[in-house]
């Protein structure tokens, strides 16, 4: 990070959640007013959990720069691509020009008897399985085929080929009751479960209908729904038509709260967590974070 050092900024490197939290503890003690962070979504998930669970008394302005694979959060707040965004921020710093500030909310995922989790992008059903497969591949060893930008797409493509061409069975679809406050309810085996607290303005996909109001954006697609291939435009750009409703196996929109009954695991920002299928899993707005747009 020679650009940041050359501009006179203090630069710190972290390698895992414990080292991140230790560095944040130090910056919190100093009441640092701003943090510029080059990281992937997993690290930003850990950052969100820190501010939600540990440091509610400290709210620095955050510049979130893309440094990972998906970069869902940096894309949403102007930090993608990472190096051009950093250069814009440094130019503003040199000119004495303040960066535009806004607030985003974390997505809180909670269940009785378990620690509440905070992040930005929730995935369940087959998407959870896809995240599990890519995580297992990365954890299995070193090498470019496990840790390069191509590794995750390769694993997902291989899974698709084995499923579509060689008829490898998909994992059992969880039998779920999904509720979205103010929008509706959907019950049965689920193919897709996804939720976010982000606007997803510059994301590669935006799989949420515009109906409803609230901080939680949520989509559930039942196994009995029409082919997912026919829903690709909606899942990429949020173009849900009137027929994509619970009566046709699709529940999607905004609400203040979503609830899932019947899932035993989920992914949050690419991190994997277990759940008790016998208890409701609640998705709601979490902590408010100040973010800077370069």
For the stretch 135-145, pLDDT in tens is 656 666 676 55
Tell me what the pLDDT averaged over the chain comes to: 86
Sort 8 into a burial class: Cβ within 10 Å, 0-12 / 13-18 / 19+. Answer: exposed
**99 domain-assigned:** yes
**75 domain-assigned:** yes
Higher-scoring residue by pLDDT: 250, 237: 250
**162 domain-assigned:** no
- Structural domain including 51 reads 2-105
**217 domain-assigned:** no
**176 domain-assigned:** no
**84 domain-assigned:** yes
Query: Smallest Cα–Cα separation from 223: which of 189, 193, 250?
Result: 189
**167 domain-assigned:** no
The pLDDT of residue 159: 43
What is the count of structural domains for the chain? 1
- Average pLDDT estimate for 15-25: 92
**77 domain-assigned:** yes
The pLDDT of residue 288: 94
| Predicted TM-score of the model (pTM) | 0.89
- Average pLDDT estimate for 255-273: 95
Confidence band of 283 (pLDDT split at 50, 70, 90)? very high
pLDDT at 163 over 80: no
For the stretch 187-218, pLDDT in tens is 999 988 999 999 988 888 899 999 999 999 99
Q: Is the dihedral of CA 183, 124, 69, 19 positive or negative?
A: positive
Q: Which two tokens stand for residue 276?
A: 């008790």
The pLDDT of residue 169: 56
């Amino acid at each position: 990070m020679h650009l940041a050092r050359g501009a006179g900024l203090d630069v710190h490197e972290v390698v895992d959640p414990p080292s991140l939290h230790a560095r944040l503890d130090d910056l919190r003690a100093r009441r640092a007013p701003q943090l510029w962070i080059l990281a992937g979504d997993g690290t930003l998930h850990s950052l969100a959990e820190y501010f939600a669970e540990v440091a509610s008394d400290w709210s620095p302005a955050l510049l979130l720069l893309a440094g990972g694979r998906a970069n869902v959060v940096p894309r949403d707040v102007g930090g993608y691509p990472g190096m051009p965004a950093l250069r814009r921020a440094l130019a503003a710093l040199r000119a004495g020009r303040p960066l535009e500030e806004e607030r985003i909310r974390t997505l809180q995922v909670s269940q009785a008897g378990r620690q509440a989790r905070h992040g930005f992008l929730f995935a369940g059903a087959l998407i959870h399985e896809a995240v599990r497969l890519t995580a297992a591949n990365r954890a299995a060893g070193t090498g470019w085929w496990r840790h390069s930008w191509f590794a995750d797409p390769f694993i997902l493509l291989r899974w698709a080929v084995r499923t579509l061409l060689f008829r490898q069975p998909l994992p059992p679809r969880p039998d779920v009751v999904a509720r979205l406050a103010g929008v509706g309810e959907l019950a049965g085996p689920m193919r897709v479960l996804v939720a976010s607290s982000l606007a997803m303005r510059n994301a590669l996909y935006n799989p949420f209908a515009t109906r409803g109001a609230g901080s939680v954006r949520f989509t559930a697609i039942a196994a009995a729904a029409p082919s997912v291939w026919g829903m690709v435009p909606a899942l990429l750009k949020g173009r849900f038509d009137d027929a994509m409703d619970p009566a046709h196996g699709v529940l999607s929109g905004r609400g203040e709260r979503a609830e899932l009954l019947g899932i035993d695991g989920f992914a949050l920002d690419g991190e994997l967590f277990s759940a008790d299928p016998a208890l409701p899993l609640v998705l709601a707005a979490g902590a408010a974070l100040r973010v800077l747009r370069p």
